[in-house]
A and B are shown apart, each in its own frame.
Chain A
Amino acid sequence: MKPVLRVQDLAKAYRPGGPAVAGVSFAVAPGEIFALLGPSGSGKTTTLRLIAGFERPDRGEVWIAGRQASGGGRFLPPEERGVGYVFQDHALFPHLTVLENVMFGLHRRPPRRRRARALEVLDLVGLTVFKDRRPDELSGGQQQRVALARAIAPGPPLVLLDEAFSSLDAGLREVTRAEVRALLKATGTSAVLVTHDQEEALSFADRLGVMRAGRLVQVGTPEEVYHLPATPFVARFLGHTNLVPARAHGDWAETPLGRVPLARPAEGAVRLSIRPEHLELLPPQAAEGVPGRVRSRAFKGHDLTLEVEAAGRRYRVQADYRSRFFPGDPVRVRVREPAVAVGRNAEAEPPGVKRERAAD
Chain B
Amino acid sequence: MLPAAGVAAGVLLPLGYLGVRALEADPAELAALLLRPQTLALLGRTLGLAAGVLAFDLLIAWPLAWLTVRTPLVRVPGLALVGALPLAVPGYVMAYALLALGGGRGPHLAGFWGALLALGLTTYPYLYLNLRTALLALDPGLEEAARSLGHRPASVFLRVVLPALRPAFLAGGLLVALHVLGDFGVVSLMRYPTFSYAIYLQYTASFDRTYAAWLALMLLALAALGLALEARLLRGARPLGRPRPRRRPPPAPLWATALGAVWALLAGGLGVGLPLAVALRWLGAGAGLAGVLPAAAHSLLASLPAALLAALLAYPLARLEVRRPSPLAGVLARVAYFGYAVPPLALALAWIFFGLRAAPFLYQTLAMLVLAYTLHFLAEALGPVRSALYQTPRGLEEAARSLGHRPASVFLRVVLPSVGPGLAAGAAFVFLSAMKELPLTFLLAPLGFDTLATNAWSYASEAMFAEAAPYALALLAVSAALVGPLLGRRRDRR
Contact = CB atoms under 8 A, between A and B. Distances in A.
A contacts B: CB pair < 8 Å: yes
A317 B290 CA distance: 87
- From B145, B166, B236, residue with most partner A Cβ within 10 Å: B145
Contact of B148 (A84, A92, A94): A84
A107 interface: yes
Nearest to A159: B148
Contact of A14 (B139, B166, B248): B248
B164 interface: yes
Contact of B150 (A55, A107, A136): A107
A108 interface: yes
Given A94-B240, A94-B241, A95-B163, A89 B151 contact: no
B147 interface: yes
B151 A85 contact: no
Contacts of B248: 14
B149 A104 contact: yes
Contacts of B241: 94, 136
Nearest to B167: A95
A321 interface: no
B141 A78 contact: no
Contacts of A92: 145
B240 A104 contact: no
B101 interface: no
A134 interface: yes
Interface in A55-73: 55-56
Nearest to A80: B150
A89 B244 contact: yes
Contacts of A342: none
Given A14-B248, A87-B145, A95 B164 contact: yes
A105 interface: yes
Contacts of A82: 150
B151 A107 contact: yes
Contact of A78 (B144, B155, B166): B144
Contacts, number: 81
B450 to A, nearest CB: 50
A151 B238 contact: no
A91 B141 contact: yes
A166 to B, nearest CB: 13
A136 B141 contact: no
B255 to A, nearest CB: 16
Contact of A79 (B151, B238, B244, B251): B151
Nearest to B163: A95
A19 B59 CA distance: 39
B296 interface: no
Contacts of A26: none
B237 interface: yes
A82 B149 CA distance: 7
Interface string B126-167: 000000000000010110111111111101000110011010
A134 B238 contact: yes
Given A95-B237, A136-B241, A79 B160 contact: no
Contacts of B146: 93, 104
Interface in A147-163: 150-151, 154, 160
Please tell me the size bucket of the interface on B. 20 to 34
B136 to A, nearest CB: 16
A85 B145 contact: yes
A154 B150 contact: yes
Contacts of B150: 79-80, 82, 105, 107-108, 154
A327 interface: no
A294 interface: no
Nearest to A136: B238
Nearest to A108: B150
Contacts of A52: 144, 148
B142 A93 contact: yes
Nearest to B238: A94
A258 interface: no
Contacts of A80: 150
Contacts of A89: 139, 141, 244
A97 to B, nearest CB: 9
B144 A85 contact: yes
A140 to B, nearest CB: 14
- From B147, B163, B241, residue with most partner A Cβ within 10 Å: B147
A54 B142 CA distance: 12
B442 to A, nearest CB: 45
Interface of B: 139, 141-142, 144-153, 155, 159-160, 163-164, 166, 236-238, 240-241, 244, 248, 251
22 contacts: A52-B148, A53-B147, A53-B148, A77-B147, A77-B152, A78-B148, A79-B147, A79-B148, A81-B148, A89-B244, A91-B139, A93-B163, A94-B164, A94-B238, A95-B237, A95-B238, A104-B146, A104-B151, A105-B150, A107-B155, A136-B238, A151-B149
Q: What are the 10 closest A-B residue pairs judged by CB atoms, nearest first?
A: A105-B149, A78-B147, A91-B141, A85-B148, A94-B238, A95-B163, A91-B145, A79-B150, A87-B141, A79-B147
Given A79-B152, A94-B164, A136-B238, 19 more contacts: A54-B147, A54-B148, A55-B251, A56-B251, A78-B147, A81-B148, A82-B150, A84-B148, A87-B145, A89-B139, A91-B145, A93-B146, A93-B163, A94-B240, A104-B151, A104-B159, A134-B238, A136-B241, A160-B148
